[in-house]
Amino acid sequence: MDEIAKPSGKAGATQPWSLKIYNVFKEFHVRHVAYVPDSGHSELIRRAEGDQEMRALALTSEEEGVALLSGAWLGGERGALLMQSSGVGNCVNMLSLVKLCRIPFLTLVTMRGEWGEFNPWQAPMGAAAQRALELMDVHVLRASRLDEIEETVRAGAAMAFEGGAPVAVLLSQRVIGAKKFAGQETR
């Protein structure tokens, strides 16, 4: 059996968007950062873990985050759900809660399967992510360049927390970068 390659390029201070997003979270008093990890969110997750006023919480499945953040909002606190595009489909039924109760909802989705993706299994849900969100009337914004990320997340946070809307911000794979696996070129 082939040795399984480990993802290379571990995020250090290599994700300039993470500080921008973190600052927007602070500005909007985001307390709960619920996530199913994605490497594109790893630095943001570490920032949240290091912040006394934030609670970073790992989920077993993305839909848990929709319910968790709805509960937090019932209790008066704001949160954001971090996931990759493959997790969007897992949320669809749970988004009923957000829609029926009109609960402010913000999710940041790192996109896979759309730009230099080596793993074809990421493509189907990557291609369907926006439509899956829109199926449940989640408003979708997209940041396709690094310099768009801060303003787009801020716009999404304002629509969610001030406007009361369900909002997803898609972070293009073109910005985040395609995942590289050591030795993938040999296979």
Q: Which residues bind another protein (CB under 8 A)?
A: 31-32, 55, 57-61, 63-64, 66-77, 79, 93-94, 96-97, 100-104, 161-162, 164
Q: Which is nearer to another protein, 57 or 128 (CB)?
A: 57
Distance CA 55, CA 34 (A): 8
Of the pair 22, 105, the CB lying nearest another protein is at 105
Among all chains, which residue has been given the structure tokens 């993470």? 18
Tokens of 12: 């250090």
Q: Considering beta carbons, is residue 17 or 161 the nearer one to another protein?
A: 161
- Shortest Å distance, C-beta 164 to another protein: 6
Residue whose tokens read 């996109």: 111
Rounded least distance, CB 28 to another protein, Å: 12
In angstroms, what is the minimal distance from the CB of 124 to another protein? 23
Ramachandran bin of 107, using left for φ above 0, alpha for ψ from -120 to 50, beta for the remaining angles: beta
Instruction: Please say which residue, 40 or 104, places its beta carbon nearer to another protein.
Output: 104
Pairing relation of β-strands 105-110 and 166-171? parallel
* Residue 86 one-letter amino acid: S
The distance of closest approach from Cβ of residue 168 to another protein in the complex, given in angstroms and rounded to an integer, is: 18
DSSP, collapsed to helix, strand or coil, labels residue 83 as: strand
